[in-house]
Structure 1
Amino acid sequence: MSIHPQTDWRTVLSDSTLLALAGNAVFRRGQTYACSGAISAAELSYPDASITLKAQVRGTRAYTVELSVAADEQLEGDCDCPHAEDGNFCKHQVAVAMQLRQLLEGAELTIDPEAQKKVAAASKRAQTQASKRDALLKFLQEQTAQTLAERLWQIAEHDRYIMADLKAWFALSDVRQDGKSLKTALSNILKSQGFLDWYACTAYARRAEQILPLLEKTLQNEPLLARTGCEHALRCLYRVAEHADDSNGEIGGVLGAVMDLLLRSLEAVPPTAAWIENWFALMDADPWGLWNEAAVLEAAGPALVHAYSEKVAQDWQKWQVSQPKQETGKATASREAAYFSYDYVRSTLRRRYMQDLQRQGDVLAVIALMQDSARENHEHLELIKYCEDQNKMREALQFAQQAYTRYPDHFAVVDALLRCYDRDGWDNEAYAIRRKQLEKSPTVANYQAVLKNAKTAGLDVALVREGLFFWQIQEEQQALKKPAYQQRLALPNSDNKRGGNAGLVVSARVGWLLAENRVEEALALVQIPNRCAPELLHAIASRLPSSENQRAVVLLLRLFEHAMPGASTPYTQALDLIREILPRMPDSAQWLSQLRMQYKAKRNFIKGLAEL
């Protein structure tokens, strides 16, 4: 039967693919099995345009392997060995894949005597170990219960993990369907002493998981008792979690499972309003903040929802009353910093109250709360966005203006106000802000935004453009008095090295000109002694046609002279520039010769030149 024409089995069955699937160690062992004669009863078939090989591989025992290459070039394998049962691509699958590749290539199947010896020896060792385990198990089964108990106790006295497991086993065996018995069992199982490192957390979590079927059984019979048990279990786990390195999240996994059981117990028997105190005490004790308050409210029923609304409102009001009143007049910097520092309690209480008002659908109350309590820039932004979401655009504009007055330099606040101005047609006000943005940061984006806004505001765009260039020239002339500014933003040139005129830093104007495709003007502007950012010089050179090669080469050589002093292996930037310069330079051979002489001490650079 023919193989599907689109099936590229050579790639699917290549060593690189098998290595990626199995990992280096398993791949090497699979190679050995493939040429050891361990594969037998091979059956090759072509079902549904795929390629399938089913075979037996002798290891510790005979394992059944089935491997398929589908028409979509997907390799699928299955083996009944323990390693493959965990979803891994095992050595037996590697071996069968290699034999399948040989069969499809028409190659003769050969056996390597050395590989055969290795596999036989490994199989013998595995069978010996299995035999010893069977003998040990048989010996244990022949011992009396008293003998085994005494031996187990001796071992547990020297191994705290085994002792903990025995205590958990005992606790589970002594549980009765009453609160005291359940709490005692949970306490004994979840008990821990000292700090748990990540390794100890794994052992603890494995033991702690034993409470889950116990709580599940209790939930089925006594949902109210299960709720009490879940609360107690969470308190025990919180105490452990405070002194644990749960990097793998295993204790967190147990906590999550107990919380899920608690939610189910609330759904089964909705709590009274009084349970609100238990719940908040649990949340306060949680060291990791894992609670999903919305899920609890949804599960717990109307009585708790009402109690929650009353409590979060009272808690927020109490917190406000407890805060010292701010002094009138100008605050000192330290007092201002203290007032605006992050306060976790305030943030939590404010969030709870605000989200509860939102859940109730009281839009005006939410806005009032957000307005009265906003004291950080993100809270002002949150207020503006909420008003916009509720289609209260007039209020959004009002709050955006207030936020801008307080945070005139915060980019997100400025963006929010501009969004409101643009939406509501405040074009002149938006233009004034965008002009300020440009003066603080004369980027291309800000330049284009000013011109676009000028057009919307009905201004003479040509006149505005002329004014921007005039303003920028004045800024560049002022920058001549700031050498540090020039060194940071501009490219040195040969005139500077010879002590000539420092020239203007023209990067901003060049960027504006290139954005409008005014290449000739940009080229005239970057002539020495003026200085410009390297990427802009490169952009000008790249836009010059082949008829302007001479002028392009001049710019690229300036870039090269700038790159070489600080260049190091592998000289990527410098060599890339040379590749770009050579096709444009008429006397390139002579220039290359000069480079070899000038930089002969840089051996890796010379080697890179030779490879061009």
Structure 2
Amino acid sequence: MSAARYTESDVRRLAGPRSYERGLGYVDAVGPLHVDSRRISARVQGTERYSVALEDEDGLRAACTCPYGEDGHFCKHCVAVALTALREADRLPALREEAVMRDAALDTWLDGLGRDELLRLVRERLAEDADFKNKLALRVAAAGGDTSAVRADITALLDPADFTQYGYIAYEDAPGYAAQVTRAAQAIRDLAADGHGAVAVAVAREGIRRVVGVYETADDSDGSIAEAAEDLERAHLAACFAAPPDPDETAQWLIDHCLGDGGEYLEVEPADYREVLGVQGLAALRALAAEAHRRNPSGSAERSLLESLARAVGNLDELIAVRAASLEANGYTHLTIAEELDAAGRPDEALEWAERGLRHAAAEDERPHRGLVDHLAAHYARDGRPADALTVRRDHFQSDRSLHTYRALRTAARAVGLWDTERPPALEQLRVDAEGNRKRQWGGAVLIDALTDDADFDAAWAAAPGLATADQLLRLADASATTRPAEALAVYTRQIESCCRHTGNGTYARIADLLTKARACHEELGTPHDFTAYVARLRTEQKRKRNLMRILDHRGL
């Protein structure tokens, strides 16, 4: 069984830099972790004691009872619990196993309860949880055949009025509305399962239209409404399977959705409806799509629809014809066609299209798409044509001198034993580029990255003055700390001094990381006492930063 199913990068991305930095200071305030098969929960002592729940089965999600968390944000308390779970990752499998055993024991207990005891438990839940009560009320209405009541309840769930206090759905209100849309989707599934599939189809289409309209007045930056809308569309498809609607009418609905405003906000894959449409409906849909494309041959929605239908019927040549009618200048379209042909077991045609894409990019005076070059070079290598692969890589390096193209050139040249011949002119070109761009380096000179990647550290340190950025120097220091500890230590020390001019738990964690690296350099140099003195001096100078002192203590620095 796996441990944590997410990474620290996931936490940082979901929280944002501000909440992430604040969360670092709350790690010590996290109580015991409670883990089950899908959820990790704990209490965090903040201004008050807050409850945090993480779900990490299909991507990391979090909820917290603090005001910021209740608005749907991944707050500092969520960060603290998520990081605590990562640090205790080795314990998670055992805790999950214990949770499975507890769940099994609970199931056994429930199986042994009588009818009256179960009813008492349900009634207690109904009295405590209004949301649970509403869900059951929907099931009762559907089971009783009162479809008009169910329809009204679903319509109410999709009404955004309670979330549009400013005339639109604000970012902080989007998750609340999304939750209601998800409930509506489940109600539609229940309606179809209870034998009212035709009504469920109609209600789902009304709901999709309503939610699409909401997008125009909603800040859905976190994607919660989009995700709920996709669930609504899946509920519609399930209803269609439960009670297949008229195929011609369904074809028209799909066309109207995909080519109207709905297609812009909620992507529906017509191929998913193939069984629902049947032969008649699929033919009708293809005819409608072809006519729409004839009227608007440059429309991306029309082209995408034709591609989807070609995939639905398994007609690769038709798919290629659609794509070939609108070729991108850099050869990317050629690449997608080549990939489709390769997947279909037609490698000769795939190679022809990839080569054609390279020629097309040259004719358009465009830098070829990187993926196209990678695809073509891999084809040559598989076909036993390493010299051709090297030629392609060399030409690409000439037009796009980056670390990626340098690495690719190195791999191709080594395959034919020519790297010693290819490397000097390639480095010379990078050196000329670096000198010419000395005053406008953004990501730093590619020359430094290439030499570091080659593990030619002496040459990289020699070229670094005036060319390397701070990030490049850090990467170089990390790569060569054991062989060039004095140079690496100087880089780490400068970065520590720079970080000390700023505040924030993220900065403090970075200082601790750099100090750890600096300690390793001192050990290589045989000067551990100098490091001890340096840390003592830094602690004295920064003693007012209590969170920094706490982090240093935690790291043993």
TM-score normalized by the length of structure 2: 0.54
1:487–1:564 CA distance, 2 compared to 1 (3 A)? farther
Q: What's the CA shift for 1:559?
A: 2.5
Equivalent runs, 1:12-23 vs 2, <5 Å:
16=32
Equivalent runs, 1:75-224 vs 2, <5 Å:
76-77=101-102, 195-197=161-163
SS at match of 1:514: coil
Cα distance in 1 for residues equivalent to 2:189 and 2:535: 75
1:561–1:212 CA distance, 2 compared to 1 (3 A)? closer
1:285–1:484 CA distance, 2 compared to 1 (3 A)? closer
Q: What's the CA shift for 1:261?
A: 2.7
- State the match for 1:417 in structure 2: 376
SS at match of 1:16: coil
In the TM superposition, what whole-angstrom CA distance separates every residue of 1:560-593 from its partner, at most 9, and x where no partner exists?
A: 4533441325632552244224334456647866
Cα distance in 1 for residues equivalent to 2:248 and 2:42: 57
In the TM superposition, what whole-angstrom CA distance separates every residue of 1:582-605 from its partner, at most 9, and x where no partner exists?
A: 334456647866887799645589
SS at match of 1:572: helix
In the TM superposition, what whole-angstrom CA distance separates every residue of 1:253-278 from its partner, at most 9, and x where no partner exists?
A: 66644542332222xxx846566435
SS at match of 2:367: coil
Q: What's the CA shift for 1:292?
A: 4.9
For the pair shown, the structure with the greater C-alpha radius of gyration is 1
Equivalent runs, 1:20-419 vs 2, <5 Å:
24=43, 76-77=101-102, 195-197=161-163, 227=198, 229-241=199-211, 242-243=213-214, 247=224, 256-266=234-244, 271=246, 273=248, 276-277=251-252, 280-281=255-256, 289=266, 291-320=268-297, 346-375=299-328, 378-404=332-358, 405-406=360-361, 407-419=366-378
In the TM superposition, what whole-angstrom CA distance separates every residue of 1:495-532 from its partner, at most 9, and x where no partner exists?
A: xxxxxxxxxx97356426526xxx6x649947989978
Cα distance in 1 for residues equivalent to 2:154 and 2:189: 12
Match of 2:439 among 461, 479, 484: 484
Cα distance in 2 for residues equivalent to 1:318 and 1:348: 12
Question: Are positions 1:434 and 2:393 aligned together?
Answer: yes
Match of 2:448 among 475, 492, 507: 507
1:580–1:594 CA distance, 2 compared to 1 (3 A)? closer
SS at match of 2:161: coil
In the TM superposition, what whole-angstrom CA distance separates every residue of 1:416-469 from its partner, at most 9, and x where no partner exists?
A: 332334344554443234234445676676445434433555x75433334444
Bigger shift: residues 396-405 or 207-216: 207-216
Question: Are positions 1:540 and 2:472 aligned together?
Answer: no
Cα distance in 1 for residues equivalent to 2:408 and 2:185: 60
| Identity score, percent | 15
Q: What's the CA shift for 1:385?
A: 0.8
Cα distance in 1 for residues equivalent to 2:450 and 2:254: 63
- State the match for 2:25 in structure 1: none
SS at match of 2:32: helix
1:576–1:441 CA distance, 2 compared to 1 (3 A)? farther
Cα distance in 1 for residues equivalent to 2:374 and 2:433: 29
- State the match for 1:333 in structure 2: none
Q: What's the CA shift for 1:381?
A: 2.6
Q: What's the CA shift for 1:537?
A: 4.2
Q: Is residue 385–residue 396 contact of structure 1 (8 Å, CA) maintained in 2? A: yes
Q: What's the CA shift for 1:371?
A: 1.3
Cα distance in 2 for residues equivalent to 1:212 and 1:524: 64
Equivalent runs, 1:513-532 vs 2, <5 Å:
513-514=454-455, 522=459, 525=462
- State the match for 1:582 in structure 2: 522
Q: Is residue 231–residue 282 contact of structure 1 (8 Å, CA) maintained in 2? A: no
The unaligned stretches of length 5 or more in structure 2 are: 1-30, 50-93, 111-123, 128-132, 164-172, 501-507
Q: Is residue 234–residue 255 contact of structure 1 (8 Å, CA) maintained in 2? A: yes
Cα distance in 1 for residues equivalent to 2:302 and 2:161: 32
Cα distance in 1 for residues equivalent to 2:207 and 2:403: 56
Cα distance in 2 for residues equivalent to 1:299 and 1:445: 46
Cα distance in 1 for residues equivalent to 2:538 and 2:247: 88
1:603–1:347 CA distance, 2 compared to 1 (3 A)? same
SS at match of 2:499: coil
- CA RMSD, 1 decimal: 5.6
Cα distance in 2 for residues equivalent to 1:231 and 1:592: 72
Q: Is residue 522–residue 530 contact of structure 2 (8 Å, CA) maintained in 1? A: no
Cα distance in 2 for residues equivalent to 1:194 and 1:18: 35
Cα distance in 2 for residues equivalent to 1:418 and 1:408: 16
1:600–1:16 CA distance, 2 compared to 1 (3 A)? closer
Q: Is residue 400–residue 420 contact of structure 1 (8 Å, CA) maintained in 2? A: no
Q: What's the CA shift for 1:388?
A: 1.7
Cα distance in 2 for residues equivalent to 1:444 and 1:208: 48
1:436–1:230 CA distance, 2 compared to 1 (3 A)? same
* Bigger relative contact order (CA 8 A; separation at least 6): 2
TM-score normalized by the length of structure 1: 0.50
- State the match for 1:562 in structure 2: 494
Q: What's the CA shift for 1:542?
A: 1.0
Q: What amino acid does structure 1 have at the position aligned with 2:352? A: Q
Q: What's the CA shift for 1:538?
A: 4.6
SS at match of 2:482: helix
SS at match of 1:542: coil
Count of matched residue pairs? 407
Cα distance in 1 for residues equivalent to 2:377 and 2:104: 63
Q: Is residue 406–residue 450 contact of structure 2 (8 Å, CA) maintained in 1? A: no
Q: What amino acid does structure 2 have at the position aligned with 1:464? A: E
Cα distance in 1 for residues equivalent to 2:191 and 2:536: 80
1:599–1:393 CA distance, 2 compared to 1 (3 A)? same
Cα distance in 2 for residues equivalent to 1:536 and 1:513: 11
